[in-house]
A and B are shown apart, each in its own frame.
Chain A
Amino acid sequence: MFRLISRITRPGKKRHNNSTRPQERCKVAPSEEKRQVAAGLEQNKKIVHEVFDRCADLVVREFLIGRVNPVRAMAVFLDPLVNRDLMSEFLAHPLMEVDRVPPAGVTLDWLKERVVTAGSILEKRRWVEAGNGIAKGLVALFVDGQSRVILLDIPEVTSRAISQPISEQTLRGSADAFNEDRRTNLALLRKRLRSTRLAVENLELGTVTKNVVSIVYLKGYADGGLVDEVKTRLRRIEIDGILNSEQVTEFIQDSPYSLFSGVGTTERPDIIAANLLEGRVGLILGNTPYALFVPATLGVFMQTPDDYSNRYWYGSFIRLLRWAGLFIALLMPGFYIAVLSFHQEMVPTVLFTTIMADREGVPFPIFVEALIMELAFEMLREAGVRLPRPFGQTISIVGAIVIGQAAVSARLVSTGMVVVVALTAVASYTVATIPLASVVRLLRFIFMFAGSGFGLFGVTAAMSLLTFHLCALRSFGVPYLSPAAPLSPDILRDTLVRVPVWMMRRRPRFLNPKDPVRQPAGHKPHPPAGRISGRRRKKGGR
C-alpha cells in the first residue's frame, strides 16, 4: 500500500536504466557463438545440415573450381530468398568456368576479386554469422580448405512494386509510397535527398526477425543528442520479433501509457524527406511500408502533403478546416448532449421546438441515444474495413441508410442525433493522420460522458484534463504542444496555416536544429526590375 502511494507521489517518470546491449543476442550457447567455419568442406556440410535441419528449402550446391586439380566448393542458400538466375550468373557460371587457378591456389581473396561477380560480398569467420547470413537470404560460399566463408547478396524480389500509398492519398502529390522492401524504401528516400548529408545507420531489431532498421537523418541539421537518444532507445529493445513499425513505436516513445503517439508514421517518402529537412530523425524498417520519424508534436499529425502542393491560401484554408474538424469531431456529440440536457436556453427557440418535437416518443435520454448511435457507427466503420470488396460499398451505403432510417422510424433515435453523428463522422475523417483520428474517436466518448454529467462545465473540465495531459507530454524531449504551449512564432508559419515557402526561412525552433537557417532573406518573388521589355534588366537587384 505504501509502495503504491510512494509510486504515485514519486516525481516524474522513472526510466529504467538499461545499459545498451549488443543486438546480436542469438540465444545460442557461447561456445556456439565462437565456433569457426571449418576448413574442411565435409565438416561444413555436416554443420549446415545440423543448423538447418528440417529446412526443406535449403539448397546446397556443390561446385568444382578449376580444371586442373579442382577445388571443391559449395554454395548454401535458402531457395525462396535467392534469385536463381542471378545466382547462376554471378556465382555458378564464373566459378565453374574458371580456367586457370593462380599459383597461390584457390584463395578467397582471389575469388572475391577476380571470379565472383556479385555486387555485395562479405567475408565471415564465425559460423553464427554464416548461419545468420544464410537465414537472411545471403548465399554462403564455402571453399574446401578455407576457414572463412563468403556471403553474397543476390536477393529475389519478394515485395510488391512501388505503388500508391494505401492510407495517405493526396490529390496533387507524388504517388510513390514505401513498400515492404527496405532497400526500395531507402532508394525512394535517397532519390529525394541526393546529398552527402544524408546519414544512414543500421541496427537490427528482434532476435528471430532480425529486422534491419535504418536510422536516417541529415548531418548538420538534426540535433546530435537526438540521434544518439534514438540509437540508445533502439539498442535497448530486446525481443524475439519486431513485425511492424507500431511495435517499434511502443518501445521508443516517451510516454508509454498516453493515448497520443510521440512518434510520427507515414507511408510517403516525401513526408519523411520534408521532416528530415526540418531536423527530425527518420526510421525506415523492412517488412512494413510505414516509416517512423521523431520527434513528433501534435502539429505533425495535422499536416498533409496536400497543404504544400496547393497554393498557400488554399492550403491554409484546408488546414484551418482540418483543425476545426478536429475540434468538431472531438466535441460535437458532447456539446450537443450538454446543450440539450443542461443549457437549453442557448438553443434558438425555433430550432429547439423542432428538435424537441423530433425527440417526441424517443424513450431514451439524449446521452443514451448518442451512445447508441455512436457505437453503432463505430461498428459499421470497423465492419466496413473488413468487408470483401464486392460487398463493401453496397452494404455500407444500404446499411447506413437502412439503419439510420429504420432506427429513426422506430423512434429509437431522433433525426437530430443522426445528423450530429454524421457530422461528427465526417469531421473525424478530416483529421489528417490515422493515429490522431483513432485517438479522437476514443476521446469523443469521454466528452460525451462529461457533457451528460455536468453540461458544458463537464466538457470544459474534460478539455482541461486533456490539455493538461498534452501539455505534460514530450516526444524525445520536445514538448508535445510546441509551438503552442511553449509559445513560439512557428505556430503561425506551419501549424495553423501554411505560409508561402519563401517565408519559411528557419527550421522549427523546438527541434533544436544545428543549422537553423533554411534559406536566406530576399526570396520573395517579384517582377523583374527595370523596363518590362527585359532588355535592360538590372542584375541581381531587388
Chain B
Amino acid sequence: MPEHGRISSVQLFLLLYITEISTTFLIIPGVLAKEAGTDSWLVSLVPVTVYGLAVALVCVSLAGRFPNQVFTEYLPRVAGRWPGKILAAAYIFFFVHVAAVILSQGANYIHTAFLRETPLLAIELLLLSVAVYGVYLGIEVIARQNTLVFALFMFSLLLLVTFVLEHFSFKNLLPVLENGMFPVLKASALIISWRGEVFFILMLYPYLNRKQEALRTASGVVVFSGISQSAITLVATGVFGAALLPNMVFSIHELVRYISIGFLERMEVFIVVIWVAGLIVKLAIFIHAASTAAAHTLGLKNYRWFIVPATLAALVLSETIFRTSLQQHEFFTGMGRYYASIFQLLLPGLLLFTAVIRKRRDRAGAEKT
C-alpha cells in the first residue's frame, strides 16, 4: 500500500455522514411520502437504522480482520483468486455506476431548475473536475475539506428549519401509525441503499488513525443520519402534509421556496449550493474508491493512474443510463432499491462468513506478505 493518509474518527464520521446526507436530504420526504404517508419520519428513524447498523457491524468486522488493507485488496484472499478479482471488478463497476447515477441526477436537477441554458455536459464536467482534483490530492484532503462542508451544511440546515417553522403544523403529522407498522417497513426498503453507504468503511479502514473506534463511529453515523433525515422528513411533512408530498420530487427545494424573511425570498439556490459542495465530496469519495480498487485489482501501486479512466467512465455512463427521468425514478423505486444492498450487506456478509470459515485474517499490525 503506497501512501496511507490518516483520517481521525471525527473526520470519518463527518465523511460518511455527508456522503449519505448530501444526496438524500433533498429527495427523501417525497420518496417516502407515497408509501408511508404521515409516518415517513419513522422510517428513517427505526427500520433503516437497523439495516444500517447491520451493515456497519458486518463491514467493520470484515475490515477489522485485515486492518491494513483496502477491501478489494483482501477480496482475492478471502474468496479465492479469480472469484475475488471478479467480485472486485463488480465493486469497481458499482462505484462507477453509482457515481454516474448521482452525477446525472445532480446535473439534471441543476440544469432543469437553475441553469436551463447550460448544457448538461458542462455542468457534469464542472462537478467532476472539482471532485477529480480532490481525489488527486488524496483522502486526507477530502476529509479535511469535508469538515468545512459539514459545518456549512449543518449551519444552513438549521437556518432552513428555523425559518420554515412558522409554516409547520402538527396536524399534518396525525394520525400516527394509522395503518400500523407495515407501510413503514415497506417504505424503508426504498432508502436502505443510502444508509448502507456506511459500507465505505471497508474502503477507508486502512486510513483510520484509531481503528478500534471504527464501529463506534460507523454506528454513530447511522444513528445520526437517521435522526437528521427523520427531522427533515418531519419538517417537510409538517409543512406540506402527506397528501402533497408524493408529488414533489425535490421536496426540500420546495420547502426552501417557502422561506420569506422580509425581503429575502427564493433562496433555493443557497441550499442547492451547499448540496453541490456535498455532492462534490461524495463524487470524490466514489471515484477515490473506484481508483483505489482498480489499482489494487490490477496490481499497480499508484491509484492516480485510474482517476481519469474512472471519471470518464462515470461521465459517459451518466449520459447514457437514463433516457428519461421516469426511467430514473423507476430505478430508485423499482428493483433498483435492492441493488445497492447486494454490495453493502449481502456480499460483505457472505465474505465475512467465508473469512471466518476459512480462517482468513491478518494479525493486528501485520502487513500483507
Contacts and interface: CB of A to CB of B under 8 A. Distances in A.
Interface string A372-388: 00000000000000000
A348 B263 contact: yes
B2 A9 contact: no
> Which of B2, B137, B148, B276 has the largest number of chain A CB atoms within 10 A?
B148
B133 A471 contact: no
> Which of A10, A342, A463, A471 has the largest number of chain B CB atoms within 10 A?
A471
Interface stretch (A110-118, A208-216, A394-402, A477-485): A477-485
A57 B273 CA distance: 68
Contacts of B265: 345-346, 348
A468 B141 contact: yes
Contacts of B118: 454
Interface string A331-356: 00000000000110110101100000
Contacts of A279: none
B115 interface: yes
B166 interface: no
Given A11-B302, A454-B118, A461 B280 contact: yes
Interface stretch (B123-131, B196-204, B241-249, B348-356): B123-131
Contact of A465 (B10, B114, B133, B273): B133
A468 B145 contact: yes
Contacts of A484: 147-148
A464 B145 contact: yes
Contacts of A463: 277
Contacts of A105: none
A520 interface: no
A185 to B, nearest CB: 36
Contacts of A455: 114-115, 269
A456 B302 CA distance: 35
A19 to B, nearest CB: 25
Contacts of B126: 454, 457-458, 461
B15 interface: no
Given A342-B115, A457-B276, A461-B276, A11 B3 contact: yes
Interface in B90-126: 110, 114-115, 118, 122-123, 126
Contacts of B228: none
A486 interface: yes
Given A11-B3, A468-B133, A468-B134, A457 B148 contact: no
B304 A11 contact: yes
A471 B267 contact: no
Contacts of B270: 456
B264 interface: yes
Nearest to A454: B126
Contacts of B123: 454, 457
Say whether chain B's binding surface is mostly helix, strand, loop, or mixed. Answer: helix
Contact of B304 (A9, A456, A467): A9
Given A455-B115, A457-B276, A472 B138 contact: yes
B114 A346 contact: no
Contact of B276 (A9, A346, A350, A460): A460
Nearest to B257: A345
Interface in A218-277: none
A495 to B, nearest CB: 13
Interface residues of B, number: 40
A399 B257 CA distance: 45
B170 interface: no
Interface string B320-333: 00000000000000
B277 A464 contact: yes
Given A348-B265, A461-B276, A468 B137 contact: yes
Say whether chain A's binding surface is mostly helix, strand, loop, or mixed. Answer: helix
B24 interface: no
Interface string A467-501: 11101100000010100111100000000000000
A472 B269 contact: no
Interface in B248-285: 263-267, 269-270, 272-273, 276-277, 280
Contacts of B273: 456-457, 459-460
B294 to A, nearest CB: 13
Nearest to B273: A460
Contact of B127 (A461, A485, A487): A461
B130 A464 contact: yes
Contacts of B148: 467, 471, 481, 484-485
B144 interface: yes
Contacts of A485: 144-145, 147-148
Nearest to A350: B263
B23 interface: no
B277 A342 contact: no
B144 to A, nearest CB: 4
Nearest to A344: B266
Contacts of B133: 465, 468-469
A8 B307 CA distance: 12
Contacts of A9: 302, 304-305
Contact of A457 (B11, B114, B264): B114
Given A460-B277, A471-B141, A481-B144, A487 B305 contact: no
Contacts of B144: 471, 479, 481, 485-486
Contact of B2 (A11, A346, A461): A11
A454 B273 CA distance: 11
B13 to A, nearest CB: 11
Contacts of A458: 126
B266 A346 contact: yes
A457 B110 contact: yes
A12 interface: yes
A481 B134 CA distance: 16
Contact of B114 (A343, A472, A486): A343
A351 B266 CA distance: 14
A454 B11 CA distance: 30
A346 B267 contact: yes
B8 interface: yes
B276 A472 contact: no
A342 B268 CA distance: 13
B130 A465 contact: yes
Contacts of A487: 10, 147
Nearest to A480: B144
Interface in B22-67: none
15 contacts: A9-B304, A11-B304, A12-B3, A342-B114, A350-B263, A456-B269, A457-B115, A458-B126, A459-B273, A461-B127, A461-B129, A468-B133, A469-B133, A469-B137, A471-B145
Q: Which 9 A-B pairs have the closest CB atoms?
A: A485-B144, A471-B144, A348-B263, A9-B304, A345-B266, A472-B137, A472-B141, A471-B141, A460-B273
Given A461-B129, A472-B141, 10 more contacts: A9-B305, A342-B114, A348-B263, A454-B122, A460-B273, A464-B277, A468-B133, A471-B148, A472-B138, A479-B144
